[in-house]
Structure 1
Amino acid sequence: MGVRLIIFITILILLDLYAFQAIRTFSKNQWVFWVYVLLSIAVLAYLVYAFLVYDRSVGPTSGSLQVAGIFLLFFVPKLVLLVFMFGEDITRVFLGGYNYLASNNTTEYIPSRRKFVSQLAIGAAAIPFASLVYGMVKGKYNYKVLTHTLYFDDLPDAFDGFRVTQISDIHSGSFDAPEKIEYAIDLINEQETDLLVFTGDIVNTKAEEMDPWISTFKRLKTPEFGKYSILGNHDYGEYVSWPSEEAKAANFKGIKDIHKKIDFTLLLNENRFIEKEGERLALIGVENWGHNFKQAGDLAKASEATLQKDFKILLSHDPSHWEYEVKNNDHNYHLTLSGHTHGFQFGIEIPGFLKWSPVQYVYKHWAGVYKEVGRYINVNRGFGFHAYPGRVGIWPEITVIELKKKRTTT
C-alpha cells in the first residue's frame, strides 16, 4: 500500500509541475495561479485520504466511484497539458542546442515558453474536462433503445418476428438517482417484446447493493415467454476481501436469490426450451466465462438436451467467450447475447461513420452486433456504470432484437 501510494502521489505531482507552468504562462494574474495551486493541493489531499481509508471488505460504492470520478477530472486534462507542454520542452531544448552550437550572442540559449502554446494546451484540456463532467452529471443515465433486425435461414417459422429485449451490467451499487432508474424501467416496459433477458453483473460486489432496488426492478413486466438471466464476473464477489469463505458463499447465494426476487429465472449452465405454435428454440445460459476473468461457464453442460439443429440463443456475459469457445462451435449457436465491456463508458460513435473506444484494443467484439461464420453476437453497452461514475459517448443501452426468417428468392 505504501509503495503504491508514493507512486500515485509522485505521478500527480509531476503532472502538476507541468500544469503549473501552463497556468503561469497562460495568466500573469497571481490570484489565478494561487487559486489553482490551492485547489490542486485540496484535491490531492482528498484523493490521498480516500486512498488510505478505502475498505477492501466493502468494495466499490457510489461514494468510492465519485472519488474515481474526481481523480479522472483532474488527471486526464493534466495528461493533455503534459503532451503539449512536454512537446514544447522538446522543441525548446533543440532550439537551445542550436543556439549554443551556432554561438549566437544570447544570454538565454533556451527560449522561454510561448503563451499561445499554453493557451492551446488549456483549451485542449478543457475538452476532456467538460466531457467527463457531462458524463458524470447526465451521460450515465442517458438511456438509449437500440433496435436490430437479424435474419436467419433456419429460424423456425413460428418465431419469425420474435422480439427479445436485452439489458446487461446493472451494477446496482453504483446508482445514485432513483428517478432515473425508474425512467429506465419504464423505457424497458414500453418495448413490449416477447422475451426479456439480463446478461450479468447485477451488483458491483455484494448482494445487499440490490436491496434498495428490488421493488424498482420487480416492476419489469414479464413478457409472454418470460424473463431470464445469467451471472457476470462481478456477481461472484471476487473483487473484495471476505472475513471467511462462508461469508463469501453466503453473499453468492444472496446474489443468486436476487434474480428470483425480481422474477427472473437464473440460468446456471442450463437451458430452457421456448415453445410457440408447435416449434421451439433453445435459450441457453452459461455462468461467467472470460478469457481474462473467471471461467465458471460450462457450455457443454449448459447445452445438454439441445440438438445441433435446434435454433439457439446463448446468454454469456463476456464476449471473449464467443471468440474462444462459441463462434466456431459445431453445436451451432445462432445468436449470443453478451455485455461486460460497457464500451469502456467512453468513446465516439457516429452511426455509419465512426465507432471507437479504447476498449477495442482489448476486446475484438465490444459494442453492438457482429456477424462471423454465419453467427451473431450482440454486445450490450450496459445498463449501469462502474469504475468511472459516468459515460461519455457510449450511452447506457436497452437492446431490442427482432428475429426474422430469411426468405430464399426464386
Structure 2
Amino acid sequence: MSRWVIRLIILAVIIFIAEAYAFQALKTITRSRVIKGVWLGVSALVYANLLYVIFSTSRSVGQTLQFQYAVGFMLTILIPKAILILGMFSEDIWRFGVKLVSWFTPGQTQPIQGRRAFISKIALGLAAIPFASFLYGIVQGRYNYKVLKYQLAFDDLPDAFDGFTITQISDIHSGSFTNAKKIQYGVDLINEQQSDVILFTGDIVNNVASEMDDWVTMFKALKAPKGKYSILGNHDYGDYVDWETEDDKVANFRKIQELHPKIGFDLLMNENRYIEKDGEKIALIGVENWGKGFNQAGDLNKAKVGVDKSDFKILMSHDPSHWENQVKQDDFHYHLTLSGHTHGLQMGIEIPGLIKWSPSKYVYKQWAGLYEEFGRFINVNRGFGYHAFPGRVGIWPEVTVIELKKASKTT
C-alpha cells in the first residue's frame, strides 16, 4: 500500500471521528430525522465527491477545476464543524471538571451531566458564520477585487520619477477562471488606474499554457504608457504535472514564456530593463522563481548585470521568501521588491488598523501587503486569481497601485 493511500486512510479516520463528535451537537437540539438525514447526507456527498475526484483524476493533468471545487466544498463543511467541535469540547471539559470535583466532595458524587442545548445552539450559531463566509467566498468573494494604494518616498529617486505610478498584479492563475464577465471587470479595473507601468509578478497559469488560451485577448487590452513587464512564478514551470516525457514539460515551458509577449508583456528571466523619463532612468530587474525549499531558478547576479549599484532599483521576484532570505540585506540595495505567491492563503481576517491575520503568516514572514526593513520595501500582492480553494474569504483579490515620491518633495 502506497504512503499517500495510508495517509488518506488516516485522514479519513480523523474526519470520521470529528464528524461523529460534531453530530452530537445536532442531536442535542433536534430530534428531527429529516434534519439529521440532510446533515449526514450532505457530508457524505461532499466526501464521496472528493474521493471520486482524487481517484478518477490522473496526475498528468495537474490540479483540475473539479478538484478545486471538491476541496472547496469540503472546507466549507469541515472548518465550521471544527469550530463547532471546539465549542463542544470546551463544554466537555466543564462537564468532566464538575464530575471530578464531585469525586473529592464527600456525599456529592454525581453522574456526568448531559450536554446543554443552549451551548450546542451557540456552537452551531458560531459555526454558521464561517459556513456562510465560505459559501460567499466561492460565489462572490473570489471576484471581490480591491485596489490598494501606497505612496513610497525615497531620497535617491530621480526627480523625473517623482509621482511615477506602478500597478502591480500577480498570480493570475487563468486555469481557475470560469466567469469571463467578472474577469473582464478585474481587467478593466487595472486599466482604470492609468498607471505609468504595469508589473505582473508571476503565475499566469495553474499547470499548462493552454489554460490561458481563452483569456489572451482580454489581458492583451491592458495598457501602460511606460510598458508592461512580467516574471515567472512557481506554477509556470509545470512542476505540478506528471508529464509523460521531459520533452513535453520543456515544450509547455516554452509556450508559457510565449504567452507573455502575446498579452503585450516583456518577460524578464533573470534580466533587467531601464525605464526612462525626461532624461533620467530607473532599473527594473526581474528574476525567475526563487522559493525557499523548492524551485530556485532566480539568479540575482545574472539579473543585475549592467545595472549600477547607484541606480534606483525595482526588483520583481515572485516568492517573498526570496526577499527574506537573500534580497533585503543585499548590499546592492534593491529599493522596492514586488512579490506575490502567497495569496494570503485566500482566507483570513483583515480590518485595517485593527487586525491582519491569515494562516499564511505562519509560513511566510511577509505574506500580504507592504513591509519595510533596512529602508527597503517589499509589497506582497494578494493575487488577482485564485488556486486550490475556488474562492476567497476575507483576503480579497488585489490590484496594487504604488506611487513613487521624492522624499525631499513630500513635506
For residues 410 and 148 of structure 2, what CA distance do their matches in structure 1 show? 29
Q: Which residue of 1 aligns with 2:39?
A: 36
Contact 1:370–1:377 (Cα < 8 Å) also in 2:
yes
- The answer to whether residue 53 in structure 2 is matched with residue 53 in structure 1 is no
User: 1:30 is matched by which residue type in structure 2?
Assistant: R
User: 1:237 is matched by which residue type in structure 2?
Assistant: G
Q: Which residue of 2 aligns with 1:386?
A: 387
Alignment of 1:106-125 (within 5 A): 109-125=111-127
Q: Deviations over 1:205-254 (max 9, x none)?
A: 11111111111111112x22111000011111111211111111111111
What displacement does 1:105 show?
A: 7.3
Q: Deviations over 1:180-214 (max 9, x none)?
A: 01111111111111111100011111111111111
* Aligned partner (choices 22, 25, 32) of residue 25 of structure 2: 22
Q: TM-score, normalised by structure 1?
A: 0.96
What displacement does 1:409 show?
A: 9.7
Q: 1:104 to 1:36 in 2, by over 3 A?
A: farther
Contact 2:153–2:410 (Cα < 8 Å) also in 1:
no
Q: Which residue of 2 aligns with 1:129?
A: 131
- The answer to whether residue 71 in structure 2 is matched with residue 65 in structure 1 is no
Q: 1:84 to 1:181 in 2, by over 3 A?
A: same
Q: Deviations over 1:270-289 (max 9, x none)?
A: 00111111111110000001
- The answer to whether residue 14 in structure 2 is matched with residue 11 in structure 1 is yes
Contact 2:54–2:67 (Cα < 8 Å) also in 1:
no
Contact 2:50–2:67 (Cα < 8 Å) also in 1:
no
Q: Which residue of 1 aligns with 2:5?
A: 2
Q: TM-score, normalised by structure 2?
A: 0.96
**Structure 1 gaps, min length 5:** none
User: 2:123 is matched by which residue type in structure 1?
Assistant: A
Q: Which residue of 1 aligns with 2:377?
A: 376
Q: 1:408 to 1:44 in 2, by over 3 A?
A: closer
Q: Which residue of 2 aligns with 1:74?
A: 77
Greater shift, 147-156 or 27-36, is seen at 27-36
For residues 385 and 47 of structure 2, what CA distance do their matches in structure 1 show? 28
- The answer to whether residue 152 in structure 2 is matched with residue 150 in structure 1 is yes
What displacement does 1:360 show?
A: 1.3
Q: Which residue of 2 aligns with 1:262?
A: 263
Superposition RMSD on alpha carbons, in Å?
Answer: 1.7
Q: Which residue of 2 aligns with 1:247?
A: 248
Contact 1:151–1:406 (Cα < 8 Å) also in 2:
yes
- The answer to whether residue 107 in structure 2 is matched with residue 93 in structure 1 is no
Q: 1:104 to 1:212 in 2, by over 3 A?
A: farther
SS in 2 for 1:57: helix
- The answer to whether residue 160 in structure 2 is matched with residue 170 in structure 1 is no
What displacement does 1:96 show?
A: 2.8
For residues 63 and 229 of structure 1, what CA distance do their matches in structure 2 show? 29
Q: Which residue of 1 aligns with 2:196?
A: 194
Q: Which residue of 2 aligns with 1:220?
A: 222
For residues 274 and 396 of structure 1, what CA distance do their matches in structure 2 show? 28
User: 2:94 is matched by which residue type in structure 1?
Assistant: T
Q: 1:408 to 1:69 in 2, by over 3 A?
A: closer
For residues 200 and 348 of structure 2, what CA distance do their matches in structure 1 show? 24
User: 1:341 is matched by which residue type in structure 2?
Assistant: T
Contact 2:53–2:66 (Cα < 8 Å) also in 1:
no
User: 1:321 is matched by which residue type in structure 2?
Assistant: H
What displacement does 1:128 show?
A: 0.7
What displacement does 1:33 show?
A: 1.7
For residues 102 and 37 of structure 2, what CA distance do their matches in structure 1 show? 34
SS in 2 for 1:314: strand
Same amino acid, percent of matched pairs: 58
